[in-house]
Chains A and B, each alone.
Chain A
């Protein structure tokens, strides 16, 4: 079962949330970030090339122009491969674990898998950042030595930064799976 809805992120950009229910105990949430806009790309390229042309008229060295082209290309490739995240996915599988994947614009994928035994709970946390109040979804991890303490907080959808309405949808689905998992789990 698959459905898609559109939400907005904390800065006002449009996000798309895709939900896939493979089975009652396996669900996937995919948040797609806004694409790289042509306007900003053109603006940055023009600025860099104008600056290079200005330097060229000062120094009369044509190496500056080729260096500027080179820098622009490398910078764009580096941005697409290391910075621009296209999609963030959260896959929750009952009694196995939670997997978070970030896909970059160049196709690179970064995956983290957390076993269900380490997960204490999934909550929506509030953070005050300068003048903004931001809500973010995070996974609380158990301390292996003291099961009642929280050892780590892992935030989810860090690049997409969806707003509270999107987070509530994801939270409700995840809680269904987690309560079922806790009810049928053999470990206390």
Chain B
């Protein structure tokens, strides 16, 4: 296998020294994490590595030497570097070399115990892969499929493919605490030495934000035990919700909008009631050219008209209090836009209560009629519904039973068009109201479950959410090792929404389209607010 050396881009300008990192034998890759500069005492380097290994549970070791020189290296430096291989023995021993200002590198990987003559080191082909250490440290790799054993907490670093590289870098944070500018026995070079913030204000803000972030994290941990990203999503969604609600509140209370709304509400309710009356008058006549049964038509029509008359009286009774009620309801918008939308949906349900009542009356009548028709139709064919066995059995009826049954069947059949028409009209109105309510609920659901923090992170810091990596081949010269640049491939927006979407309140309807049509046909009442798993009526 080709030996892959993952080298951080921040160390390409570092001075000569030792390479420190992790060797993954299964993939034949060496992940270089830092460069230890001269002068150093080998015992102290080994101590530091043991310390970091204990804290991070990543198997760190000295992987080889790094040589960054002006011109051709002196002989003594070459011998010195080879001598280091004897002190820090590692299989294989990497020797990376670069001339200042030149683009092309030279790499050697030697094995001490080769298959050939013992003592003569054997060489391997080496491939250099540069990676941005800070981005790989901060990013979170999203695997394409969730494996079943991912649920357990990994104690040691993984060895599977690219996840191993990301794991190694993120677990070795302890190593990056000290760099070459700090006082200490060992001088390291890694991404921290690339340059800290140049502005004192940014540094102070970072120091101050530490305790604030801790406090917010603690508060969120009280709410739920989800991961940091989900907590941030919840917080941002809630904040946006409250902000939108306050905007709505300020808009409502400016220039007396509530008063205008209250003044417009009563005439609107009156208008709706008038339209319903016109509709009933139309049904009582000859709607769409159909001929109705006059007596039943008049009875049903007058019943519904009286109902509307009662409703209008109640509305007029409530009219002096409407403005006060609306003002207080408008205040609830400061809790969030979702609260205001839910209250709007409830107000709509209250104002269209008469439509709901009409639907229930029409549906019950129609349902009774359909039940009667089906039972009498069975009588026609000489069959009966066996309640005990829940099936249709044959039955011999007496002559007078058959006679009365046939009469009733005829009456019901001839009255069917009238009842069916009333049922159809009121069901359509009810479905319209339910659709509007459903749309409001969808909007509330969207505001609640959209992961805004993750989307913002994907927009501003795309390397934080990684779907994978991509490689770019850098300038190549024959005889030199191949150099590749590894960059992070960010997660597409659709996957961000899919992965981080918060649980919606589960307002998916219980029925499929087929069962809905069946219920409508048989006149069974539809309850749109019943969820899956609720107890059956």
Contact = CB atoms under 8 A, between A and B. Distances in A.
A25 interface: yes
Contact of A91 (B2, B25, B28, B473): B473
B476 A22 contact: yes
Given A113-B489, A115-B162, A186-B1, A26 B470 contact: no
Contacts of A186: 1, 25-26, 28
A95 interface: yes
Interface residues of B, number: 23
A123 B427 CA distance: 59
Given A96-B127, A144-B147, A186-B1, A23 B470 contact: no
A113 B473 contact: no
Interface in A76-99: 91, 93-96, 99
A107 interface: no
Contacts of A22: 473, 476, 482
A28 B473 contact: yes
Contacts of A96: 2, 4, 127, 129, 471, 484
B469 interface: yes
Contacts of B28: 95, 186
Interface string B15-30: 0000000000111100
B462 to A, nearest CB: 13
B26 A187 contact: yes
A95 B471 contact: no
B161 A117 contact: yes
Contacts of A112: 468, 489
A178 B47 CA distance: 42
A93 B476 contact: no
A186 B29 CA distance: 12
A55 to B, nearest CB: 31
B471 A93 contact: yes
A112 B490 CA distance: 11
A184 interface: yes
B125 interface: yes
A137 to B, nearest CB: 20
Contact of B2 (A94, A111, A115, A144): A94
A115 B484 CA distance: 15
Interface string B52-84: 000000000000000000000000000000000
B482 A26 contact: yes
Interface in B451-488: 468-471, 473, 476, 482, 484
Contacts of B471: 91, 93, 96, 99, 113
A93 to B, nearest CB: 7
Interface of B: 1-2, 4, 25-28, 125, 127, 129, 147, 160-162, 468-471, 473, 476, 482, 484, 489
